[in-house]
């Protein structure tokens, strides 16, 4: 029997969380982004580059590429709750069920000629065909395998940046190493795009990325207010432009609108949820297929998940148009996922203090060891050093077979009772 896929589009609000009015603008912005990609993929008027989510998008935009991010597509597969059914098709061609479910869900969807984009935007029938694929291993090695599979499938060039991982201080030696790799593939990208590289254009785009990043940070920082005007669950929606449109004026313009709305909430003491009692920090990947479920559960318990490592991962304060290559190398090397445990613990302590956190929820994502920080004693160390309660939630970013709703609900309710007893 042919499998019929249904798509539940995650709404901007739920039974408890207040709707953000700017989301109407966001929906149009994302629709325009995907329709442009689809148009240029079909017309070949412009070249399309696939880029990992923390890859050198600025370089690609400076050379006239339309930039597509497969990780964003895989998050859509997760939030539409179709990923779990698609993963086995990638397993069948040799990809282990233990590896990244972004990779396996996305390849499975391609093999089944399915994309959730069609249900949202009916004229889009497939992901855009790449003219080149560009990755950065700063997040994980899986992006290299993932993009490599598609490069072979589409017979398209594959370009990659190798980034050191598990680093404490990001040194000048590391920055120079990565910047040199970026500079070296300019010639390859010029030939594909047929556009000559111009440093002034790159500087302009890096400047826009920095402005987008600064605004996104200000958006997230509004959650330090009590009550918080937004939640982590809002952040997973609102982060879209910071991921797929950084380096564009559209992203900057949108975050100005969003920030103004949130600042108005702060001035009027309007919280994202009513009667906020406790403030939690989400460490790790979202569980895309259960965003609404957890948003409603926490809000019903009068708990606001106010901040996360994940949403803050698209803040790139090192961007500097005066030195584009080295500043990009620095910014993309400083991300949380590529750092040592010692650095991560210092970072989390700062976040706990800044956002006035009552407890940390560590998501142990079954297929994402690189962005899971609960397996080597970090929660216990933080509990011992700063007396912050922690809870480990077992699940996955996309594979819902790794999650028990009942067990997680019981654990969360018990955790909140623990906070009440403090």
Nearest CA to 135 out of 245, 51, 47 is that of 51
* Mean pLDDT calculated for residue range 299-320: 97
Where do the H-state alpha helices sit in 129-246? 142-154, 172-184, 186-193, 199-221, 232-238, 240-244
Check residue 422 and give its pLDDT: 87
User: 15: pLDDT confidence band, cut at 50, 70 and 90?
Assistant: low
Q: Predicted confidence band at 44 (pLDDT cuts at 50, 70, 90)?
A: confident
141-154 pLDDT, tens digit per residue, is 899 999 999 999 99
| pTM of the full structure | 0.94
E strand or H helix at 48: strand 48-51
pLDDT band of 328, cuts 50, 70, 90: very high
List, for residues 247-303, the tens digit of each pLDDT value: 999 999 999 999 999 999 999 999 999 999 999 999 999 999 999 999 999 999 999
Q: Where are the domains of the chain?
A: 23-420
**Assigned token pair, 205:** 């785009």
Dist. CA 167–CA 131, nearest whole Å: 33
Give the three-state DSSP class for 305: strand
Axis-axis angle for helices 199-221, 324-333 (nearest 10):
30
Task: Could you list the beta-strand ranges (E) of 295-411.
Answer: 303-308, 359-365, 390-395
Continuous segment of H or E residues that includes residue 310 = helix 309-312
Closest CA to 161 of 124, 133, 187, 119: 133
DSSP string, 10-37: PPS--SSSPPPTTHHHHHHHHHHHHHHH
Distance separating alpha carbons of residues 354 and 349, to the nearest angstrom: 9
Q: In what order do the strands lie in the sheet with 66-68?
A: 66-68, 48-51, 132-136, 158-161
Nearest-angstrom CA–CA distance, 258 and 291 = 21
**Cα torsion through 222, 227, 232, 234, rounded to 10:** -80
Share of the chain above pLDDT 90, in %: 95
Q: Which of 120, 128, 130, 127 is nearest to 30 (CA)?
A: 120
Reported as a single tens digit per residue, the pLDDT across 163-181 is 998 999 999 999 999 999 9
* pLDDT for the residue numbered 352: 98
pLDDT in tens, 59-69: 999 999 999 99
Q: To the nearest whole number, what is the mean pLDDT of the chain?
A: 95
Percent of the chain scoring above 70 in pLDDT:
96
Cβ atoms 154, 325 nearer than 8 A:
no
Q: 392 is written with which tokens?
A: 């480990």
The answer to whether residues 391 and 415 touch, using CB atoms and an 8 Å cutoff, is yes
Phi–psi pair at 397, nearest 5 degrees: -70, -40
Is 379 within 8 Å of 372 (Cβ atoms)? no
Residues 104 and 114: their CA atoms lie apart, in Å, by 13
Residue count (the chain): 422
In the chain, count H helices and then E strands. Answer: 19, 8
User: In the beta sheet, which residues pair with residue 158?
Assistant: 133
Residue whose structure tokens are 């590289």: 197
Chain centroid, CA 99 distance in Å: 18
Specify whether the CB–CB gap between 161 and 182 falls below 8 A: yes
User: What is the predicted pLDDT for the residue at 17?
Assistant: 79
**Is there a contact between 56 and 134 (Cβ–Cβ < 8 Å)?**
yes
User: Can you give the pLDDT at residue 21?
Assistant: 97
Question: The domain 23-420 is classified under which CATH number: 3.40.190.10, 3.30.70.100, 3.40.50.11900, 3.20.20.70?
Answer: 3.40.50.11900
Look at residue 6 and tell me whether its pLDDT is greater than 90.
no
Residue 123 pLDDT class (50, 70, 90 cuts)? very high
Give the separation between CA 134 and CA 229, rounded to whole angstroms: 36
> Residue 10 above 70 pLDDT?
no
Q: Of 177, 182, 175, which Cα lies nearest the Cα of 199?
A: 182
**What span, in angstroms and rounded, lies between the C-alpha atoms of 411 and 364?**
14
Q: Is the pLDDT of residue 1 over 90?
A: no
The pLDDT of 15-36, averaged and rounded, is 93
The answer for residues whose C-beta is within 8 angstroms of residue 230's C-beta and 6 or more apart is 20, 219, 222, 223, 238, 262, 272, 306
- DSSP conformational letter for 402: G
Burial 388-409 (b: 16+ CB within 10 A, else e): bbbbbbbbbbbbbebbeeeebe
Taking only the tens place, the pLDDT of each residue in 51-60 is 999 999 999 9
């Amino acid at each position: 029997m042919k499998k019929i896929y249904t798509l539940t589009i995650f709404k901007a609000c739920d039974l408890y969380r207040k709707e953000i009015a700017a989301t109407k603008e966001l929906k149009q912005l994302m629709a325009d982004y995907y329709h442009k990609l689809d148009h240029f993929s079909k017309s070949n008027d412009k070249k399309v580059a696939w880029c990992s989510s923390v890859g050198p998008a600025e370089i690609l935009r400076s050379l006239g590429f339309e930039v597509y991010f497969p990780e964003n597509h895989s998050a859509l597969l997760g939030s539409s709750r179709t990923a779990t059914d698609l993963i086995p098709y990638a397993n069948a061609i040799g990809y282990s069920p233990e590896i990244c479910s972004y990779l396996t869900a996305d390849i499975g969807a391609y093999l089944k000629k399915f994309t959730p984009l069609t249900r949202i935007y009916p004229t889009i029938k497939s992901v855009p065909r790449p003219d080149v694929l560009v990755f950065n291993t700063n997040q994980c090695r899986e992006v290299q395998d993932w993009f490599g599979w598609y490069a072979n499938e589409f017979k398209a060039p594959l370009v990659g940046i190798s980034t050191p991982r598990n680093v404490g201080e990001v040194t000048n030696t590391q920055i120079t190493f990565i910047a040199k790799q970026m500079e070296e593939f300019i010639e390859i990208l010029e030939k594909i795009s047929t556009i000559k590289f111009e440093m002034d254009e790159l500087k302009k785009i890096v400047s826009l990325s920095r402005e987008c990043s600064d605004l996104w940070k200000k958006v997230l920082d509004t959650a330090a207010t009590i009550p918080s005007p937004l939640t982590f669950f809002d952040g997973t929606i609102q982060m879209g432009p910071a991921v797929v449109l950084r380096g564009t004026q559209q992203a900057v313009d949108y975050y100005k609108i969003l920030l103004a709305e949130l600042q108005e909430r702060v001035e009027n003491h309007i919280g994202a949820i009513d009667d906020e009692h406790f403030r939690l920090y989400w460490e790790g990947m979202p569980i895309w297929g259960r965003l609404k479920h957890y948003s409603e559960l926490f809000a019903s318990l009068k708990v606001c998940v106010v901040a996360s490592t994940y949403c803050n991962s698209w803040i790139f304060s090192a961007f500097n148009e005066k030195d584009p290559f080295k500043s990009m190398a620095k910014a993309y090397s400083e991300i949380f996922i590529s750092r040592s445990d010692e650095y991560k613990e210092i970072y989390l302590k700062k976040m706990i203090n800044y956002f006035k956190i009552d407890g940390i929820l560590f998501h142990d994502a079954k297929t994402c060891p690189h962005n899971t920080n609960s397996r080597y004693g970090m929660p216990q160390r933080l509990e011992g050093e700063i007396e912050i309660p922690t809870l480990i939630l077992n699940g996955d970013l996309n594979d819902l077979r790794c999650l028990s709703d009942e067990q997680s609900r019981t654990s969360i309710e018990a955790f909140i009772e623990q906070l009440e007893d403090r």
